[in-house]
Amino acid sequence: MSTQRIDPLVQVETTCRALLNELQIIWEEVGETYADRDEMLLELERECVEVYRRKVDQANHSKAHIRQTIADSEAELAAICSAMGERPVHIRQSDQNIGSLKEELRKILSQVEEMKKRKEERRNHFIDVLDQIEMIRNEINGSTESVSSETVVDETETDLSLMRLEELHRQLHELLKEKSNRLKQVQDHLNTLNSLCSVMGMDFKLTATEVHPSLGDSEGSRSISNNTLEQLGTEINKLREVKIQRMERLQDLATTMLELWNLMDTPIEEQQKFQNVTCNVAASEHEITEPNTLSDDFINYVEEEVSRLEDLKSSKMKEIILKKRAELKEISTKTHLIPDTQLEDAIEAIDSGVVDAATILEQIELQIAKVKEEAFSRKEILEKVEKWLAACEEESWLEEYNRDENRYNAGRGTHLTLKRAEKARSLVNKLPGRVEALTSKIMAWEEERGSEFLYDGTPVLSMLEDYANLREEKEQERRRLRDQKRLQGQLIAEQEVLYGAKQSPPKPQSAKKGSKQCTGVPSTKKVALGGPMLQAHKLDSVNSLRISQTRSNKKTEFMLQNDAIPASPAFNRGQDIADAPFRKHPSNGVNTNEIESQLKTIPTNDPSNNTMTPLKTISSVDEENRKPKAMHSTASVQMQTDITPPPTLQTSLVEETHEEMEQSFEEKRLALMHSDKQIPSMIQV
Amino acid sequence: MTSVHPPPVPGRELSNPPTDGISNLRFSNHSDNLLVSSWDKTVRLYDASANVLRGEFMHGGPVLDCCFHDDSSGFSASADNKVRRIMFSHGKEEILGRHDAPVRCIEYSYAAGQVITGSWDKTLKCWDPRGASGQERTLVGTYPQPERVYSLSLVGNRLVVATAGRHVNVYDLRNMSQPEQRRESSLKYQTRCVRCYPNGTGYALSSVEGRVAMEFFDLSEASQAKKYGTFATGGCDGFVNVWDGNNKKRLYQYSKYPTSVAALSFSRDGRLLAVASSYTFEEGDKAHEPDAIFVRSVNEIEVKPKPKYMGSE
């Protein structure tokens, strides 16, 4: 439209004119007076002026407003800048600038905007930093309350300068450093704690969490508060103390173990097992770092081992004690001392724990030393005592030997026994002297030692005394018998004178074991009993050989006759007579008769009254003994021969009883059978 | 000595053993016949290998010893003082002679053709069995002994007599007038038994203590090479031991018999050993196991040392 190019003002003007025109028209139509028209037009004009005026005012106002705004903004900008510590940038640039107000306004507003933005940014920075600072401070203080960041910021509203910001940054930086230090500390502490826990076999996580829950978690953030650090420190110290305690305990155990090993020579392999313990025996606390070396279990394990070793030691000690006891016994027995019972009791009491093994060992050692010393001092005398005892044995063997009928028979080993007899005789001769010497030695010893010399509990002096007394008795007996023999010898001589013939001497006198028993008993009794026995023996031809042999083997003390009786050979040769009994027997019967009658009247052995009462008395004897049958033949012989005095009558009884006692099993069995048979018959009766 | 054998068996027990103690048992020289004398007053004849009782002969008292003449007859010594000849085939016995006391031992000497008896009447008597019965004809001689005769043994022409009181007389049968040697037992206790070595060089003597002494007739021989050989002993402990006299060691011990071993006998070839397990009254009258006879085989290992002597009878 071509009309569009017309300026709107023109358009308006046009419109106004049109309107005026129109108005004119209207007035015209209305017929308005020109005065009125003019008034109206004036009014119109005035109104228009008013409108114009109003518009102009408005424009002025707006201009003023803009100016105000600019000023305000400028002020604001200045404020902001000052707050931010910056110089206001552009003041009065409008002077230089030919730009309109609006432009100015625009500029300044944008500047203000910008500054505001910047201020805002800075503020945010501040907030940020302050927040962080606060956070860290909180962490450090351990408090959870947060100071409102707004107030902080408000406080800093006045100062948002870079300087301050930098200052704050610096603070923050320091705080961060502090925090990191603390974290490091905490980590260190935790490491230490960990190490302590592992060494002592404790649960690290548990312990850490006990101090502060956050510490157990390796991932999350950890408390770094003063409290935490303090507690960590305390806990660590506490654990360290425990560690030291345990370490000391373990070292004690290790020391004991080493001592016990040393005492008992424990093999290396066993010791190796506990290498890890003993290597730390002198370690200091910080050197022990291997896990579980101080755990409860481990310490218990070591304790058990030590206790086992101690038991072993005590049992070994007991062994030693028993060995020593045996040793003591041996030494005591060798030297014929009776061991001390007190010590024995103590040893028995070991198990009950009442007495200490070590003390007992000591005591035993002392005792052993004592006994050894005593044995040494007894040695010489002891040897002599044993020699004496051996000599006594030989003496009694010799006695027995001398009573033996067969001792001169050729047989195996006879020459050996002869030699032994020789030696024994010389030994016996030396005995009295030895006994005296021994007695005086013992007396000297006893005086020196102040105690009796005991042999297996018996004082030797009393043994010697008994022996001496016994010998004395024997000696007396011997003398008495010798006297008796002498007297009987006289009797024979007288009888020879009377009857003029000699008798051969066989008398059943093997005084095998009779001597000792005889001496104490009054001779009369024995003789009386022996008489008939004697007779029976003599009458028995079979006995003759033995009789003669024993006769010849008699000891001097039992010989009432002299020894010139060629008994053995004579009788031996007599054996070839098959049926005939001994011719040489003889008078035995007569003799016994004599003796019998003598003894019945005279209570001594003195054969002073000889009477001959032949056959009668002989026959009275035959119930005796086993073999009475040969009597008749002997009786017939007896008249031809002489009387020979009976030899030791006393011993005959004993010998007799001996022979009666020797029986074979078969003889005993037969006797039993016969007695069994008799009993029923007796009962019947 | 430890044995390499499996658990030992005491041997085969003979059936119909005597009803009272067994005093002696002997194997025959010609067969496995076994003659057993007993306190039940009988003499029994067994076939040991067949385990059969072939004959039983009654006596007047306990029979203390017995011996073979040959497989048709034997002799017995009884506590009723009588010496008897027993005719196995005829099944009867007859009196050969008598002593004055129980006859304790009896032997037959092939060398002299005589029966020799020892008695508790302290005599030794020799009898000629070929004569007609009746004491006067058969008695050859009576030889007094120092004491009651407890045991005797023959070898060749030698006779060894052991009596109470530990006397030992050695006779030459060709000259009985006096003993060739008069000895004393070298053991301290009562002589129990005497047995001559089969080789005739000596004899073994045992005592009630349980020891055995080895003696030689000729002392000069004793010092030479010792030929003791092996022998078996039976004791009241119920054991039978086999010994090597040479080395003085025990070779073997058979398992324990129920009661005392009263007698032992090896068979002629040494294959068998008869053991009389019968209480011998060593501890007086007391309750005891029943009397039994065991016959066992003898292994060479049990009895053989370096030199080979199979037991002495």
**Chain B CA closest to residue A576:** B177
Which chain A residues are Cβ-neighbours of B178 within 8 angstroms? Answer: 572-573, 575-576
Nearest to A411 among B23, B143, B183 (CB): B183
Rg (CA), chain A: 76
- pLDDT, averaged per 10 consecutive residues of chain A (685 residues), comes to 64 80 83 82 84 89 85 84 72 57 82 84 84 84 59 58 84 88 87 86 84 74 80 88 87 88 84 79 76 84 89 86 87 83 75 73 87 88 89 87 73 79 86 87 88 84 88 88 85 74 46 40 39 41 42 39 38 39 40 40 42 39 41 40 43 45 89 80 53
For residue A286, count CB atoms less than 10 angstroms from its CB and return exposed for 0-12, middle for 13-18, buried for 19 or more.
exposed
CB atoms within 10 A of CB A311: 10
pLDDT digits (tens, 9 = 90+) for B262-308: 999 999 888 899 999 999 998 888 888 999 999 998 877 777 765 44
A409·B183 Cβ contact <8 A: yes
- Which position has the higher pLDDT, B60 or A631? B60
Structurally, chain B folds into a number of domains equal to 1
Closest-CA distance, A410 to chain B, in angstroms, reads 7
User: Would residue B101 count as lying in a domain?
Assistant: yes
The share of chain B scoring above pLDDT 90, in percent, equals 62
Query: Which residue in this structure is represented by tokens 């800093």?
Result: A156
User: Would residue B89 count as lying in a domain?
Assistant: yes
**Chain B CB within 8 Å of residue A666 CB:** yes
Which chain A residues are Cβ-neighbours of B182 within 8 angstroms? Answer: 406, 409-411, 572
Q: What pLDDT score does B82 carry?
A: 94
Half-sphere exposure (Cβ direction) of A372: Cα atoms closer than 13 Å: 9
Average confidence (pLDDT) over B220-249: 77
**Chain B CA closest to residue A625:** B121
Tokens of A254: 């290790």
The share of chain B scoring above pLDDT 70, in percent, equals 88
B4 confidence band (pLDDT: 50, 70, 90): low
B185 confidence band (pLDDT: 50, 70, 90): very high
Q: What pLDDT score does A82 carry?
A: 82
Closest-CA distance, B123 to chain A, in angstroms, reads 8
B146·A578 Cβ contact <8 A: no
Q: What pLDDT score does A143 carry?
A: 67
Which chain A residues are Cβ-neighbours of B37 within 8 angstroms? Answer: none
Which chain A residues are Cβ-neighbours of B281 within 8 angstroms? Answer: 665-666, 668-669, 672
Taking the C-alpha atoms of residue A346 and residue A197, their distance in angstroms, rounded to an integer, is 50
pLDDT digits (tens, 9 = 90+) for B295-310: 998 877 777 765 444 4
Which chain A residues are Cβ-neighbours of B144 within 8 angstroms? Answer: 541-542, 545, 575
A412·B39 Cβ contact <8 A: no
**Chain A CA closest to residue B219:** A412
Which chain B residues are Cβ-neighbours of A575 within 8 angstroms? Answer: 143-144, 177-179
B184·A662 Cβ contact <8 A: no
Q: What pLDDT score does A412 carry?
A: 74
Count CB pairs under 8 A between chains A and B: 94
Q: What pLDDT score does A500 carry?
A: 58
Q: What pLDDT score does A89 carry?
A: 61
User: Would residue B245 count as lying in a domain?
Assistant: no
Q: Tell me how far CA of residue A97 lies from CA of A60, A92, A115, in angstroms.
A: 21, 9, 20
Closest-CA distance, A514 to chain B, in angstroms, reads 16
A411·B120 Cβ contact <8 A: no
Q: Which residues contact A476 (CB under 8 A, 6 or more apart)?
A: none
B142·A546 Cβ contact <8 A: no
In degrees, rounded to 5, the angle at the alpha carbon of residue A276 between the alpha carbons of residues A275 and A279 is: 75
Interface test with A, best of B184, B194, B259 (most A CBs within 10 A): B184
Nearest to B164 among A576, A627, A662 (CB): A662
The answer for A 556-615 residues in CB contact with B (under 8 A) is 572-573, 575-576, 578-579
A662·B280 Cβ contact <8 A: no
pLDDT at B147 over 90: yes
Which chain A residues are Cβ-neighbours of B179 within 8 angstroms? Answer: 575
B23·A672 Cβ contact <8 A: no
ipTM: 0.89
Taking the C-alpha atoms of residue A48 and residue B19, their distance in angstroms, rounded to an integer, is 187
User: Would residue B157 count as lying in a domain?
Assistant: no
User: Would residue B27 count as lying in a domain?
Assistant: yes
Q: Can you give the length of chain B in residues?
A: 313
Q: Tell me how far CA of residue B74 lies from CA of A3, A393, B33, in angstroms.
A: 195, 51, 11
Taking the C-alpha atoms of residue A351 and residue A520, their distance in angstroms, rounded to an integer, is 56
Beta strands in A583-672 (DSSP E): none
Query: Which residue in this structure is represented by tokens 């001689």?
Result: B141
Closest-CA distance, B240 to chain A, in angstroms, reads 19
The answer for A 503-542 residues in CB contact with B (under 8 A) is 541-542
Q: What pLDDT score does A416 carry?
A: 81
A575·B285 Cβ contact <8 A: no
Query: Which residue in this structure is represented by tokens 């095998």?
Result: A512
Nearest to B100 among A410, A627, A673 (CB): A627
Please report, for the domain that includes residue B74, its CATH number.
2.130.10.10
Taking the C-alpha atoms of residue B39 and residue A444, their distance in angstroms, rounded to an integer, is 68
Taking the C-alpha atoms of residue A398 and residue B175, their distance in angstroms, rounded to an integer, is 37
Q: Which domain holds residue B84?
A: 9-144+261-280
Q: What pLDDT score does A207 carry?
A: 83
Q: Which ranges of A453-566 does DSSP label H, i.e. alpha helix?
A: 460-499, 514-519, 523-539, 541-552
Q: What pLDDT score does B168 carry?
A: 95
Q: What pLDDT score does B305 carry?
A: 63
Listing DSSP states for A295-361 in one string gives: -HHHHHHHHHHHHHHHHHHHHHHHHHHHHHHHHHHHHHHHTT-PPPHHHHHHHHTTTTTSS-HHHHH
User: Would residue B158 count as lying in a domain?
Assistant: no
Sheet holding B42-47, edge to edge: B22-27, B33-38, B42-47, B52-58
Nearest to A579 among B101, B122, B142 (CB): B142
B39·A669 Cβ contact <8 A: yes
Give the single-character DSSP code of B30.
Answer: S
In degrees, rounded to 5, the angle at the alpha carbon of residue B26 between the alpha carbons of residues B23 and B30 is: 165
Closest-CA distance, B52 to chain A, in angstroms, reads 28
Closest-CA distance, B265 to chain A, in angstroms, reads 19
Sheet holding B139-144, edge to edge: B103-109, B114-119, B123-127, B139-144
Pairing of strands B158-163, B149-155: antiparallel
- Which position has the higher pLDDT, A202 or B108? B108
User: Would residue B38 count as lying in a domain?
Assistant: yes
Q: What pLDDT score does B275 carry?
A: 94
**Chain B CB within 8 Å of residue A662 CB:** yes
